[in-house]
Amino acid sequence: MKSANQQKAKVGPENYWHIGPVYIRKWLALTIIGTVSLLILGVFGPPTILLHPLPNAPPIYHYDDPALRSISGVVQIEDDSGCIRYVGDVLNGAYTGKGKVYDRFGVLCYDGPLVNGVYQGKNANVYSDGVLVYSGDMSSNVYEGYGRRTDPQTGVISEGQFSNGMLEGEGKEYAADEILLREGVFSHDLLNGQGKEYTSSGILLREGTFSEGLLHGTGKEYTQSGSLLYEGTFAHGLYHGSGKLYDASTHSLCYEGTFTSGKPIGVGKIYHPSGQILYEGTVYDARPRADAFLGLSLAEVEQAFSQHWQIYVWEDVTAFVYPYFHLMFISQSPVELISPAEENTQAQQKRQELLDALRPTAQSDADPAKSAARTPSESARQNTDYTDEILSPESDHSSILITQVLSYGAKLPGLEHMENEQSYTTKNLIWQEWFSDYALDNASNSVSVKQTGQFIYRFTPIKYKAAMDFERSVAANDTLETTTAWRSDKSQTLWYQSAKWRKAS
């Protein structure tokens, strides 16, 4: 019998596995492999293939094999090129049951229930170029019932009730990243009924009654950040009818009234960001429609505007200016401006004259003290530089008629383009340019302006007139005549636009 030392002596390189610079004893490596395998079997169990050996592959038939007509069961069907086109159940040769349909390149097209070769049933899966595009109910080869569809181009996911291949009824649409884009009642893949739309980041953008994918009826629209922008009625996606418009930056109500084709046009109220009503009347694009006041009275203008006017005066021209809206309402009716201080001075003067008339002339002339007493009133009589002028409280505002309107720095709201417009370049400034310049905080070298009251400004032309080329155009229709001025020294900036009734020829 060989000793242990003799057995050890027989161990040589053939008893090791050589992996790089490392030598591993074969019996040790086999022991480790076996142990790991037993652990894997203990945790995961034996491979399925060992428990359930693969059944025999289903028989393969050609498309037009006459034998198929009598076959029922699981089969494979190939085309003329030998490519498998169907794997699944057949009934008397017809695709009926559960099966998979492949295109001529062997790419999966459909996996689900079939009846006589037609996609029909629940839990169907439809593929495009091997990518799943629909899961759900099918009928007669179209999506019918509840399902989930993915657009292969956009990645948009539609989920809900389908009819004839399109969303019809309650449903939802998601972006490719599963962010909700639309939800509500659909018809022909478009929102049609009560619904909601969201931004690509999932913020509510629109809600209300939809028709063919657009708000049509009552609804609300929000900014991209989610603050309310409009609430009211819509027509084909546009604000139309009665509604409220909110400022996108301050979030405060800025207009309430009628809308036409997306614009605040009609009759409404304009609000200050503080919530105060600034104007109530005829509007165009959220501005007072000034030409609607032509021929009306100052009293009617004041009734529409809650903001106080300023008054610009030159000779017989008086402009009632509303700076918030950049509008002037011009009148050439008599407007009485008074100075309370001047009236008081005149009253004192009349009283002094009456006293002088009652005194003896000789005594009056001989008494230096009496003469000195008259000096202040006489001095005041020569002072016409009053800075406290007001519109006379006794003025009849209903008799002051508006004969012209002017919008400085912007076009008059609502005026349509008129034919026969004539443009010319001029240097001759008139009161429209003076008034507009001053309202726009521009200094004019052709006129001096003096504030003679809290709201009163008097304009006086001066002899020296600085040269200034600008463009003025006049246009007219049957009823209106408009004047538009453009400042050529400021890259054709709009200076003002005015309108008045056209005189009958």
Taking the C-alpha atoms of residue 100 and residue 112, their distance in angstroms, rounded to an integer, is 7
Domain boundary among 150, 185, 212: 150
Domain boundary among 93, 120, 150: 150
The residue type at 493: T
Within-domain flag for 257:
no
User: Which is more confident, 495 or 45?
Assistant: 495
CATH code of the domain covering residue 128: 2.20.110.10
Q: Give the CA angle between residues 268, 273, 278 to the nearest 5°.
A: 40
Taking the C-alpha atoms of residue 405 and residue 427, their distance in angstroms, rounded to an integer, is 23
Within-domain flag for 96:
yes
Read off the pLDDT of each residue in 191-200 and give the average, rounded to a whole number. Answer: 97
* In the predicted structure, residue 465 carries a pLDDT above the cut 80: no
Q: pLDDT at position 4, please? A: 45
* In the predicted structure, residue 55 carries a pLDDT above the cut 70: no
Within-domain flag for 205:
no
Taking the C-alpha atoms of residue 343 and residue 113, their distance in angstroms, rounded to an integer, is 102
The pLDDT tens digits for 19-28 are 666 667 666 7
pLDDT band at residue 352 under the 50/70/90 scheme: low
Which of 225, 224, 259, 228 lies closest to 243 in space, CA to CA? 259
CB atoms within 10 A of CB 484: 21
Which residues contact residue 174 at a Cβ distance below 8 angstroms, ignoring those fewer than 6 apart? Answer: 156, 157, 159, 180, 181
Number of domains into which the chain is organized: 2
Within-domain flag for 390:
no
Question: Could you list the residue range(s) of the whole structural domain that residue 83 is in?
Answer: 56-150
Domain boundary among 150, 176, 205: 150
State the DSSP string of 301-337: HHHHB-SPPEEEEETTEEEEEEGGGTEEEEE-S---E
| Highest mean predicted confidence (pLDDT) among 37-41, 349-353, 497-501 | 497-501
Read off the pLDDT of each residue in 469-474 and give the average, rounded to a whole number. Answer: 85
The pLDDT tens digits for 356-377 are 777 765 444 444 444 444 443 3
* DSSP bridge pairs for 161: 146
The pLDDT tens digits for 277-321 are 999 999 999 999 999 999 999 999 999 999 899 999 999 999 999
Half-sphere exposure of 372 (CA within 13 A, CB side): 3
Residue 7, phi then psi, degrees to nearest 5: -65, -40
User: Which is more confident, 48 or 333?
Assistant: 333
Mean pLDDT in the chain? 85
Taking the C-alpha atoms of residue 198 and residue 400, their distance in angstroms, rounded to an integer, is 53
Residue 258, phi then psi, degrees to nearest 5: -95, 150
Taking the C-alpha atoms of residue 71 and residue 58, their distance in angstroms, rounded to an integer, is 12
Least confident segment among 75-84, 125-134, 247-256, 425-434: 425-434
* Percentage of the residues of the chain whose pLDDT score is greater than 70: 80
pTM score of the predicted model: 0.73
